[in-house]
Amino acid sequence: MRISQKTIDEIFDIAIIEDVISEFVVLKKTGANYKGLSPFNDEKTPSFVVSPSKEIWKDFSSGKGGNVISFLMEHEQYTYPEALLFLAKKYNIDVEYIEMDEATQTEKNKREAQLIVLKFAKIFFCNNLKSSDKTGLNYLKKRGFSESTIKTFQIGYCSDNDTSLIQESKKAGYNIEYLKESRIISQNQKNRFSGRLIFPIHNITGHVVGFGGRILVNNVKAVKYLNSDSSDLYQKSKILYGLFLAKKYIKKFDSCYVVEGYTDVMALHQIGVKNVVSNCGTALTKDQIRLIKRFTNNIIILFDADNAGVNATLKAIDAILEQNMTPQVLQLPSSEDPASFVVKQKSDDILKYIELKTVDFIEFKYSLIEADTTSDLIKITQSILESILLIEHQISQTFYVRRASQILQIKEEDLLLELKKIKSNKNKIRKSRNVVEAEKEHFDFAKIRKENLEEFQLMRLLINYGTSAEIKDNKQSASVAVFIVKELEKDNIRFSVLMFDKIFQDVVRKIKSDEIITKGYFLTHSEPAVRELAAYILGEKYLLSNWEEKDIFVLEEEDILYKVARESILRFKLKRVQEMVKNSLLALKDEKGDAEDKLRQFSRLSSLEKKIQQELGRLF
């Protein structure tokens, strides 16, 4: 099912944009608008503007903007439905659902069935832990885990050569095909997790989406840890073990510990460090870091002290800095992991150790110097500066350079000079390879507007009014979008700006499907470039001003919408036809091709140009 249009309209009608955004940004009223510091960039001068009258926001430091839904999507990383449900809950709106098409409904039913089967499997494994086979329970007690911790994390066990999961699933009326698709059992109906301690993996909303299994017998042929295969429900690189339990504590303490293993999370949680998650055995990914960023900007890395753990920590530091977050490092004594360390120490001693041994990334890197040699010092200094270079905020950079100067005992100006050299070299490499620009196309909307003013004006009308505003003349009544589409298709004229043309074709498809097109559609579009364009068009500074407050009264565009739309279309057509006439004239000079056909094309375009000129009231 999907949320009905009626509910969506009610949400937009009731939601107060400044009320919602003020939960995340401190806003101050300035005239008719509200201003605050950008939630997307570090800044001292407020450039984040909310316009209650236009129900839009604009962040001039990052270029982002939109409506209340797009803010939640940008800031909280919500999907469109999640943002709607957040607002529905905030304003106590009853959500009405409508039936999906058959294919979508089938897919949704399948997903829900998989979640139900995974939950059943979790309960089965939990019950197994307390069965006559005490192998799993004995292991956990030996590791020092309390019954409360075992229950909190819903730890289970699967007996060796188990077949009862299939039998119990059938008995309960579940389709075992879902067990196969979730790879809990193999195609030949063998339990993949047999003989293992089971760690259910929950997504951020608390649903079980996969399992991790630790083998408890000495078998060199079997891997120590076995995880669920990747699926639509479970993607290891986008999941953090324990986040569902930890998120409220992460927000409370404004920091998050990241460890390597499932039992590491359990051990720290048991002694009171509940703002802890595990990266499920993968290198810490951007998606995982962004998940944490929803709750805090501060990450404390607590990986093993061996070479692999140190290398993983170094990579994680840079990945965290690239997301404009603050990394710290806590290293335990050699050969210890959090789970083993916690068992051997008193809780107070552990908490004191954590407080004393948590260091910033500069101090951590400095501690890696193995020999008191110039070459080793140069290598570590270079590594520290390369990490500092990843920090976007200039003041933070300056702070860390000063910190590095104190620890390395090197003059601050020397470090700044070297930092400048590293930056220059990296810029040269980046320009020569041009990798980043190739991956993400950048749109300079001010330049596009200047060079394609007529096309930009039509885009502005489509995005501003869509199908929500009617225009009338003596002969017809139609929405702005329908009027523009009909007029352009009549003469088969396309946009020259590729992005504009894609948007136009998308509008054409929606009109043919009788779908509603609003500002919100563009502001929450699946394509980031379309969202940015809509934010640019709807959130320009002059749109956020309040002319009436200045005793300047202007005629509203809506009052003369037909005239504006018609003239915009004619100006757009004229420019495009003139370009086509020019190209047709060049084609006539080319001896290749059918000369008669080219002449007919030139004549048709010339006649069309004259007709448009006359409609615009220009005399020949």
**What is the average pLDDT across 464-479?**
77
Q: Please determine, for residue 188, whether its predicted confidence score (pLDDT) is greater than 70.
A: yes
| The predicted structure's pLDDT at residue 619 | 44
Q: How far apart are CA 246 and CA 264, in angstroms?
A: 13
Given this model, what pLDDT does residue 550 score?
40
Neighbours of 553 (CB within 10 A): 8
> What percent of the chain is predicted at pLDDT more than 90?
26
Per-residue pLDDT reduced to its tens digit, 281-312: 778 998 899 889 878 899 999 998 888 889 99
In the 3-class helix/strand/coil scheme, how is 555-610 assigned residue by residue? CCHHHHHHHHHHHHHHHHHHHHHHHHHHHHHHHHHCCCCCHHHHHHHHHHHHHHHH
Which is higher by pLDDT, 468 or 156?
A: 156
State the average pLDDT over residues 520-543: 78
The Cα–Cα gap between 519 and 58 comes to: 14
**Tell me, what's the pLDDT at 566?**
81
pLDDT of 243 reads: 93
Question: Is there a contact between 338 and 311 (Cβ–Cβ < 8 Å)?
Answer: no
pLDDT score at 475: 65
**Reported confidence tier of residue 154, pLDDT bands at 50, 70, 90:** very high
The per-residue pLDDT for 191 is 85
Q: How far is the CA of 107 from the CAs of 98, 101, 196, 299, in angstroms?
A: 15, 10, 31, 37
Query: What one-character-per-residue DSSP string does 178-197 give?
Result: HHHHTTSB-TTS-BTTTTEE
3-class DSSP state for residue 261? coil
**pLDDT tens digits, one per residue of 52-91:** 888 899 988 888 888 999 999 888 777 788 889 889 988 8
Q: Is-contact 211 193, C-beta < 8 A?
A: yes
Do residues 191 and 201 make contact, with C-beta atoms less than 8 angstroms apart?
A: no
263 contacts 339 by C-beta, under 8 angstroms: yes
First to last CA, the chain: 60
Q: What distances in angstroms separate CA 88 from CA 8, 11, 24, 333, 377, one per listed residue?
A: 9, 6, 17, 49, 57
Assign 3-class secondary structure to 503-524: HHHHHHHHHHCCCCCCHHHHHC
- Taking the C-alpha atoms of residue 114 and residue 527, their distance in angstroms, rounded to an integer, is 30
Contact status, residue 216 vs residue 158, Cβ threshold 8 Å: no
Computed on alpha carbons and rounded to an integer, the radius of gyration of the chain in Å comes to 31
Lowest pLDDT segment from 85-99, 289-303, 419-433, 554-568 = 554-568
| 3 state SS of 104 | helix
CA separation for the pair 106, 112 (Å, rounded)? 10
What are the φ/ψ torsions at residue 362 (nearest 5 degrees)? -70, -45
Sorted by sequence, the CB contacts under 8 Å of residue 432 that are 6+ apart come out as none
Mean per-residue pLDDT, 38-49? 85
In this structure, how many other beta carbons lie within 10 angstroms of the beta carbon of residue 232? 11
- Whether pTM exceeds 0.85: no
Q: Classify 285 as helix, strand or coil.
A: coil
DSSP H/E element including 156: strand 156-158
Top mean pLDDT of 184-193, 288-297, 546-555 is at 288-297
Shortest CA distance to 122 belongs to which of 150, 157, 149? 157
DSSP secondary structure letters along 202-253: E-TTS-EEEEEEEE-S--TTS-SEEEPPP-SS--GGG--BTHHHHHHHHHHH
The b/e string for 340-377 (b: 16+ C-beta within 10 A; e otherwise) is: bbbeeeeeeebeeebeeebbbbbbbbbeeeeeeeeeeb
Q: How far apart are CA 471 and CA 562, in angstroms?
A: 5
Average per-residue pLDDT for the chain: 83
Mode of pairing for the β-strands spanning 196-202 and 208-215? antiparallel
pLDDT tens string 583-619: 777 766 666 666 667 677 777 777 777 777 776 665 4
Strand, helix or coil for residue 48: strand
Q: By three-state DSSP, how is residue 268 classified?
A: helix
- Residue count of the chain, please give it: 620
Confidence (pLDDT) at 328 = 96
- Please determine, for residue 314, whether its predicted confidence score (pLDDT) is greater than 90: yes
Check if the beta carbon of residue 199 is closer than 8 Å to that of residue 165.
no
Sheet strands side by side (includes 208-215): 156-158, 196-202, 208-215, 225-227
Q: Which residue has the tokens 């200047």?
A: 450
Taking residues 390-405, what's their average pLDDT?
89
State percent of the chain over pLDDT 70: 89
Q: How far is CA 382 from CA 183, 377, 387, in A?
A: 46, 9, 9
In sequence order, the 6+-apart residues with CB closer than 8 A to the CB of 161 are 191, 194, 195
pLDDT at residue 439 above 80? no
Neighbours of 97 (CB within 10 A): 10
Other C-beta atoms lying within 10 Å of the C-beta of residue 90: 15
Closest by CA position to 541, among listed 54, 97, 152:
54
Query: CB within 8 A of 103, min separation 6: which ones?
Result: none
Angle at alpha carbon of residue 313, lines to 307 and 317, rounded to 5°: 150
Element (H, E) at 482: helix 480-490
Output 162 or 274, whichever has higher pLDDT. Answer: 274
Provide the pLDDT for residue 588: 65
Q: Provide the token pair at 551.
A: 């005793």
pLDDT in tens, 329-348: 998 887 788 888 888 888 88
Question: What integer pLDDT is reported at residue 594 of this predicted model?
Answer: 65
Q: pLDDT confidence of 454, banded at 50, 70, 90?
A: confident
Q: Can you say whether the dihedral through the CA atoms of 409, 410, 413, 418 is positive or negative? A: negative
